[in-house]
Chains A and B, each alone.
Chain A
Amino acid sequence: MRNNFRLAAAGLVVALCMPFAFSDETNGDQTTCGQYGTTVQFEKTPSDAAKRALKEEKLVCVLHVSGDFENPDFT
């Protein structure tokens, strides 16, 4: 798995010559955001997640949440 994602880093990022493309501002620090009662650790921004994913040879998972999100069953 780790070797495969090392290839992903080389293949997808270098070959495509794409910069980080998430639309938010990066703040430079590496602090994690927290779990918010879920079992998932969330990074502060998608850009932070992308940076960490590149370093750890993982993919990125981004949640878009909207509206009146009072129902915990949604997530």
Chain B
Amino acid sequence: MNALANAEVGKYLEKHFVCSFQRVATFRIVGKQKQGGNVATYFCAQDGRVLHVIPGPVDANTFLREAKWVVAAAEKGIETSKGDGAKFKTHMRKAHADKLRTAYGLAVEAITFDPPDPADNTGPLTYRDPTGRPLAPVLPPPPIDGPDVKFRHLQDAMAKTAGAFPVHDRKGGRWALDNQGRAHALLAAHSMSQIDRIYGSIFEGILGERITTRPVEVVNPFPWHGRKNAAVTN
């Protein structure tokens, strides 16, 4: 863990990304108590469309691996799409589907067409939330076709991994994915959606934490870092 304190992670992020943060209020009921505390890292295009997500805390190696993957996928997409946004979106979603197949042994069909969003409907019958914009919905991941024959061993290994979450394919077959695998599955259908549309699917759908507010800015997201340094200098 503690990936953001790793020098190599810092160097790589500095080279390819500009970083920022927001606070999302969430909670989880454990027994009768509210508990919360999690993190999600979104890699986005400059217009706020999400290319990739790391749900939850990860170690430096995992963080770097995912960051490098998204940079490579974006570079290839830029090269092949030649400025066509629709082609780029298709490329990214197929890249997530391919990653799910080759790293987790599960096959999904990337969904490359987005139906009209009812939230965009400005007609007279559209309901408008008087409190402003609603919280992000939990978007459905694409249906899993089943295990890929060539990579079945990966799925067998994943089933034995701690923290693996059960998922079902179209025929009701039971398989397993960790949080990162579930993010790839989700993004095979929703990559290149705006960050404010997708965060609900990450926190509620994958991390299992109920969202109570929209993301807001915070003054200092890591107050303990200063405390630790101050203790050392004193």
Contacts and interface: CB of A to CB of B under 8 A. Distances in A.
B120 interface: no
Interface stretch (B95-103, B158-166, B178-186, B209-217): B209-217
Chain B: interface size category: 35 or more
B226 to A, nearest CB: 6
B22 A46 contact: yes
Which secondary structure dominates chain A's binding surface?
Answer: mixed
In this complex, which of B35, B36, B216, B221 has the most chain A Cβ atoms within 10 angstroms of its Cβ?
A: B221
Nearest to B56: A74
A40 B27 contact: no
In this complex, which of A1, A48, A63 has the most chain B Cβ atoms within 10 angstroms of its Cβ?
A: A63
Contacts of A61: 13, 17-20, 41-44, 67
A39 B9 contact: yes
A67 B37 contact: yes
A13 B46 contact: yes
A7 B84 CA distance: 10
B71 A59 contact: yes
A68 B43 contact: no
Interface of B: 1-7, 9-11, 13-14, 16-27, 35-49, 51, 57, 67, 70-71, 74-75, 78-79, 81-85, 88, 133, 194-196, 199, 202-203, 209, 214-218, 220-222, 224-226, 228-229
Given A21-B47, A74-B37, 12 more contacts: A1-B75, A4-B78, A21-B196, A36-B225, A37-B228, A54-B46, A61-B42, A65-B23, A66-B23, A72-B225, A74-B39, A75-B221
